[in-house]
Amino acid sequence: MRITIFGATGAVGSRTVQEALSRHHEVTAVGRNTTRLQALARSMTTAGGGAGASGAGRRVLRVRQGDASDPADVARLGRGQDLVISATRPVAGLEDELAIAAKGLVAGLSGSGVRLLVVGGAASLTLPGEPGRLLVDGPGFPVELRPIALACNEQLDVIRGGDEVDWTYLSPPALLEPGVRTGSYRVGRDELLVGPDGTSYLSMEDFAIALLDEAERPRHRRLRFTVGT
């Protein structure tokens, strides 16, 4: 597959690039910072994901500067691709960029036939056993995370409004951190997944696996789904 990944230099984005390369997809890694893009390319080359022409056993990585909030950039970098993955994540204080980027992605891919797979947030998931009560409104939700949580909810609303885009939105568990690649995860729809120990967790490495599994075998077209241990 030919895959463009926006937010490729971030924590989730870089792991998604690595996972896609390990499966021998042709990856176009997109970011706004050229220095970070060059560092990503070097790290992937060191890990065995070097650039070059496609072929048996050859992994293809191209890095391009671009902005997911710019429909022209999205259209240009999505042209000829099978899939666009968005793993953008704004810094604190700029949470409104998330919905702006979602609007750019929808506008840039509208009517193109290119699939869109979006890394979203967990805040809009319902609490286990409490239909209609969102995680962000639950007891003990951290006040400092509320701005990004509400921004993720707005992001989801924008994506759901993309009537001419073949989209999928993946919500992470409550806790998504760098960890171990186990290859194991559970799949849910709109309810937060909680493990036997009462925690909602998945490593970023396994989250990247879930993203690429959905990319290769779409099961949630025009739907939101979630994953967890």
Q: Using H for helix, E for strand and C for coil, what is the string for the chain? A: CEEEEECCCCHHHHHHHHHHHHCCCEEEEEECCHHHHHHHHHHHHHCCCCCCCCECCECEEEEEECCCCCHHHHHHHHCCCCEEEECCCCCCCCCCHHHHHHHHHHHHHCCCCCEEEEECCCCCCEECCEEEEEHHHCCCCCHHHHHHHHHHHHHHHHHHCCCCCCEEEEECCCEEECCCCCCCCEEECCECCCCCCCCCEEEHHHHHHHHHHHHHCCCCCCEEEEEEC
pLDDT exceeds cutoff 80 at 93: yes
pLDDT in tens, 166-196: 999 999 999 999 999 999 999 999 999 999 9
pLDDT exceeds cutoff 70 at 132: yes
* pLDDT number for residue 46: 75
Average pLDDT, the chain: 94
**Considering the entire predicted model, what is its pTM?**
0.94
pLDDT exceeds cutoff 60 at 53: no
pLDDT exceeds cutoff 80 at 54: no
State the CATH architecture for 2-228: 3-Layer(aba) Sandwich (3.40)
